[in-house]
Amino acid sequence: METMRVNQLTANDLPWKILYNASRCTLCGSCLATCSFRAIKAKVERRRMVFSEGDLPEPRARFSAVPVIRQGTSIRDYCRGCAMCEKVCPNDAIRPERNVDTRHPIVTRCLGGDSIKRGGRKNLEGTIRTLDTLRVGRISQMTDPSLDAQRHKFDLLAPFGRILPPGRLPFIAGTDQEMSLGELTPPVSWVYPVIIGDMSIGALSWRMWEAVAMATAYLNEECGLPVRMCSGEGGVPRRLLRSKYLKYMILQIASGHFGWNRIATSMPDMIEDPAGILIKIGQGAKPGDGGLLQAGKVAEHIQAIRGVPKADLLSPPNHQGLYSIEESVQKMFLSLNAAFKFRVPVAIKVAASATSVSVFNNLVRDPYNIVGGFFLDGIDGGTGAAHEVSLDHTGHPIVSKLRDCYLAAVTQGRQGQIPLWAAGGLGKTGDLAADAFKMICLGANGVFTGKLILQMAGCVGNDMGRCNACNTGLCPAGITTQEPQLVRRLDPDRVAQNIVNYYLAMDQELKKLMAPIGNSTLPVGRADALVSTDRAIAERLKIQHVC
Amino acid sequence: MCRIGAIKSLNYVHPSMALQLMQSQQKGHDNSGFAMVMQDLGGIFEPYKKLPTLSMACTSEGIKLAEDILHEIGFHRIMQWSPEVNDKPGLDINAMPHYVFETFNYPRSYKKASQKEKEELLLDTRLRLRRVLEKDEEGFVYSFWPDLLTLKEIGDPRDIGTYFNLWKANTTFTAKVITAQCRQNTNYDIVRYAAHPFHLQGYTALANGENTFYLKNKEYQQQLHRGYIGFESDSQCFLYTLHYVHRELGWPLSYYKHVVTPLPFEEIDARQDRKQLLAIRQSLAHLEINGPNTIIGMLPDNSLFTCCDAKKLRPVVVGYDSETVVISSEVCGINEVLPDRNWENDIYPNEREIVVINDELEVQRWKQ
Ligand code: SF4
Ligand code: SF4
């Protein structure tokens, strides 16, 4: 007997197994054409059928060649469980099934001698989410009435920009109980408390990015929701830089400084200021790790926007030349503030970490009052590409960290002076309004979200290892790819519509949460409105424990 | 629920008038306490307008502790008055052994001190007394301020009046401004410090309602000023904000309303002074109040004001004749003490105004 080849890869070693029912298959080939990962192949199988035709058994064999679909067994082109094949199959003849016995994490390393890279989000599920143990438990009902969510007018806005301590407002007393403002104060805009997080063109397909930009413009112009979108590192199309819609866009600068050449040269042609600048120091999904855009995704238009050749694009894990918090304040903030003549708020985004409070404390104490926002990104966020080990094992959950930062501001008596914005797995259950509201009660001024926006667009990835192939450039939903035929799968109008509708629904739901606590403005820091069913969480967050 | 009231008159009035004002509203409160602050004092306190008077309820040990401290700092007592109490059986009052109103001369070292320095000394002294007496519940120090005194007690306001012999008017114990509130704060523990009116450095505030931004206010105020302590009631936040805005920041009173109940962004945007209003709303976001409430405030210059929450969820009415202005939660209180006024002049303040009564008794309505 031939020696069995134990180390030969089989479908059983891979994270997903394809279940194929040949008797239902019409051989239309749709699944093959659809699978962007080339994880399935058409094959011809030799079949042997034994039959007997007479009254007595006279077994005979018939051989035939049958075309079938088979799963590939390569560690490069393996099934990601995206279920696009299932989606297109007219006969329900094929679908992926999670393989609990997968040896993928081991065999990939053994065969490749390289770290595993992927996109998506942390894939170590386990405990129940902190936010899900919290309830809005302080209900107004008797002397302090609830409000009517439908009819009452709520001020659902959050600050973006540096807010001066009251004693430093340059007021000049006039006659007759009037005061006027003397000097210029730092720019602050009041925006919708849910910002669309920073996802770059490059990480996203141009259709996807445009759809998000379209949704943002529509929400502002037609729905009266002042939603802001952050460009992500990687530049902005010149057309948008020169349009009036730039005012809804927060431009990002990260360690690669990609796209800034184009932004700088477009400045003379800008008819509106951008909504803000976000300096990205770190990202929650892969803290301490830089950005990574694999060459496969660096299409021609990406080369143009970013001003780079076709190559792996790495944003270093750190801004070169920033050695201290003070320096980051002075150098980057001053130059970016100056670039737009102090008219545009400049904020900073960092990955949540055990040291976030120190960083925040330093910024809050900054005497120049120029840091216009502290964007804190927790471990549950998503990414276009990262090493799996970073994705799964580095990072810090957002909830307690946000609370710590807020309480640090309370200790200094400076809450609200640097607006706190939080992200990282918010809306993971699909319900962003509840998560956002709870974070606001814990001290956030607002939240930002990225991954959920992709899911609104049709991303099929999840936290249990489904898809998460954003790094490959082969996104089956046309979201994180630059392949024209894949991008064409995405209907930007439809995506924009989904995002707009989600925001409208969320807006309703936020009001439904504001009404019972009887507040017409966002209850920033109103932790007394929350209770937790988990004693340890209640203690940690300093809220009431209930059972 | 609380009921609140205030009387400001060109003449000295006796607290019996305040008791009457509150008595007719007794259905609206739960008869669990009575507290008042009197300012611009007459009677036996009239000659000492510039000198601080200590208002305190305490045990004998408390008096001793307090006097030792005041002596150590260098205060000299020049006047002492205690209400004669009528301790007849059956009164619903939870009385302290002693009620002390003592007027002091400033320490000699403060002879040349500025007004501000003296005011800081008075606050520090009161805080110290409070700290020391609080330890073993030896007493409650309500105010230590010139031309102002405070009386607070737990029990039925009628009986409290009887106990202190306050039902019968006289000329020894009077003031031109009296603010009063009935009901011990039952939302929290029953503590004397939780009863409004609250006083701090010439500012007095009392409120009828609830402040659902209490935690936000409190967490912010705690760091703003050493005098912002206690927080036994969510209404203390109204006082501290008043003190902060008017005294610490030096802003005109009209801005108080913009701090506690800022205009919606849309309305701010339509105003000429939008830059100022936005700056205020931003920088003092944590002093905004929410929930239903009516506030009455008294300033160091003896002026009186009232304003409501942004949704006008609590009532208040201002009635006056040529010599007296009365603010009250319910109009029946005013009918009781000013039955002959022209009620057509009564003012029911709306959610976007402050009604201010200056020392000349001019009644002004300021639109926010
Ligand atoms: S599930 Fe997705 S990756 Fe797997 S075979 Fe089907 S289309 Fe290809
Ligand atoms: S569908 Fe696209 S965006 Fe979503 S996980 Fe897969 S590759 Fe990433």
Question: Domains, chain A, ranges and CATH?
Answer: 11-51+60-114 (3.30.70), 133-141+186-307+317-545 (3.20.20.70)
| Domain ranges, ordered by start, for chain B | 4-367
Beta-carbon separation of A415 and B220 below 8 A: yes
CB-nearest partner of A413 from B220, B254, B273: B220
Residues 6+ apart with CB under 8 A from A188: A159, A160, A161, A162, A163, A345, A372, B278, B282
Which residues of B are less than 8 Å from A521 in CB distance?
288, 290
How far does A222 lie from chain B, in Å, by closest CA? Answer: 17
Q: Provide Rg for chain A, Cα atoms.
A: 27
How far does A137 lie from chain B, in Å, by closest CA? Answer: 13
For position A2, what pLDDT does the model report?
61
Of A87, A199, A454, the residue with max ligand 2 atoms within 8 A of its CB, to mutate for a pocket test, comes to A454
CB-nearest partner of B283 from A144, A169, A517: A169
How far does B177 lie from chain A, in Å, by closest CA? Answer: 24
CB-nearest partner of B265 from A190, A525, A526: A190
Which residues of B are less than 8 Å from A140 in CB distance?
212, 291
Instruction: Give yes or no for residue A119 CB within 6 A of ligand 2.
Output: yes
Q: What is the pTM of this model?
A: 0.93
Residues 146-165 of A with CB under 8 A from B: 153, 155, 157, 159, 163-165
For position A41, what pLDDT does the model report?
95
Instruction: Give yes or no for residue A387 CB within 6 A of ligand 1.
Output: no
Beta-carbon separation of B209 and A171 below 8 A: no
What is the ipTM for the molecules in this complex?
0.91
* DSSP string computed for A334-368: HHHHHHTTT-S-EEEEEE--TTHHHHHHHHHH-TT
Residue whose C-alpha is closest to residue A270's, from A304, A239, A297, A229: A239
Helix (H) or strand (E) holding B6: strand B3-13
Instruction: Give yes or no for residue A459 CB within 6 A of ligand 2.
Output: yes
* Alpha-carbon gap, residue A375 to A389, rounded angstroms: 24
Of A121, A464, A475, the residue with max ligand 2 atoms within 8 A of its CB, to mutate for a pocket test, comes to A475
Which residues of B are less than 8 Å from A361 in CB distance?
none
Of A14, A20, A43, A82, the residue with max ligand 1 atoms within 8 A of its CB, to mutate for a pocket test, comes to A82
- Ligand number, closest to the Cα atom of A460: 2
- Ligand number, closest to the Cα atom of A16: 1
Locus of tokens 């209930």:
A546
Which residues of A are less than 8 Å from B1 in CB distance?
143
Residue segments in chain B with a per-residue pLDDT below the cut of 70:
1, 28-30, 184-189
- Which candidate in B257, B282, B368 is best for mutational testing of the A interface (most A CBs within 10 A)? B282
Q: Return the structure tokens found at A26.
A: 């019409």
Amino acid identity at A394: T
* Alpha-carbon gap, residue A545 to A342, rounded angstroms: 45
From B288, which residue of chain A is nearest by alpha-carbon distance?
A: A521
Instruction: Give yes or no for residue A347 CB within 6 A of ligand 2.
Output: no
Task: Please answer whether residues B121 and B36 qualify as being in contact, where contact means their C-beta atoms are separated by less than 8 angstroms.
Answer: no
For position A326, what pLDDT does the model report?
63
HEC secondary structure over A146-214: CCCCCCCCCECCEEEECCCCHHHCCEEECCCCCEEECCCCCCEEEECCEEECCCCECCECHHHHHHHHH
Instruction: Give yes or no for residue A455 CB within 6 A of ligand 2.
Output: no
A143 part of contact set with chain B, CB < 8 Å: yes
The answer to whether the bond into B52 is cis (omega within 30° of 0) is no
**A217 alpha carbon to ligand 1 midpoint, in Å?**
35
Residue whose C-alpha is closest to residue A520's, from B308, B310, B62: B310
Instruction: Give yes or no for residue A478 CB within 6 A of ligand 2.
Output: no
Mean pLDDT for each 10-residue chunk of chain A (547 residues)?
77 96 94 97 94 92 94 93 97 96 93 89 78 91 78 92 93 84 89 94 92 97 97 88 95 83 89 93 78 77 78 70 62 77 90 92 83 92 86 91 97 95 93 97 97 95 92 95 95 98 97 91 95 96 96
A78 CA closest ligand 1 atom index: 3
Q: Return the structure tokens found at A525.
A: 């820091």
Residue B176 CA, chain-centre distance (Å), reads 14
For position B186, what pLDDT does the model report?
58
Which residues of A are less than 8 Å from B286 in CB distance?
415-416, 524-525
Q: Where are the beta strands (DSSP E) in A352-468?
A: 374-377, 382-387, 420-423, 446-449
Q: Mention the CATH class of domain B4-367.
A: alpha beta
